[in-house]
Each structure stands twice: as structure tokens, then as C-alpha cells.
Structure 1
Amino acid sequence: ITVLQRGSILAEGPYAEVSKDPRVMEAYMGTVDAELQGAH
């Protein structure tokens, strides 16, 4: 599969590999730091 972020290829390959890519996880799921910044 190919994962795009803002029009550029972020990751490409078999699902098993791409789904574990930290960049893909951050782009689609966010990070703990990003979640905490929005918390009030």
C-alpha cells in the first residue's frame, strides 16, 4: 500500500510493514504529546 501525507508518499510497501511504521502511526493516530497539548 501507499500512504500519502500532504500529497507526498510517506510510506510504501506491504500492509504488515506500513501499518507498523511510526511515521504512519503518528500521521494517522497522532501522538501523546499532541493530545496533551489540546487538553484543558
Structure 2
Amino acid sequence: YMNAKINSLRKFNVEKLTKEAEIYIDDITKMKEIDDNKLV
């Protein structure tokens, strides 16, 4: 039971990290676009 709980927690954490990484990459991409627009 404890193992199953740890595994589901680990899976949850990975999904959470992936989501946060996607948002982070999204923000960087938006900032890059804004910078590119300023340069033009």
C-alpha cells in the first residue's frame, strides 16, 4: 500500500513539474516574441 502511494505521488509530482515546465517555456516564448517585436 505504501509503495502504491509513493508511486502515485511520484507520478503526480512529475505531471505537476511537466505542467509547470510547459508554462515556463510558454512564458519564455512569449517574452522572446515581445523582444523580437521590439527589435523590428
Give me the TM-score of the superposition, normalised by structure 2: 0.31
- Point out which structure has higher relative CO (alpha carbons under 8 A, 6+ apart): 1
Larger radius of gyration: 2
- Return the structure number with greater strand share: 1
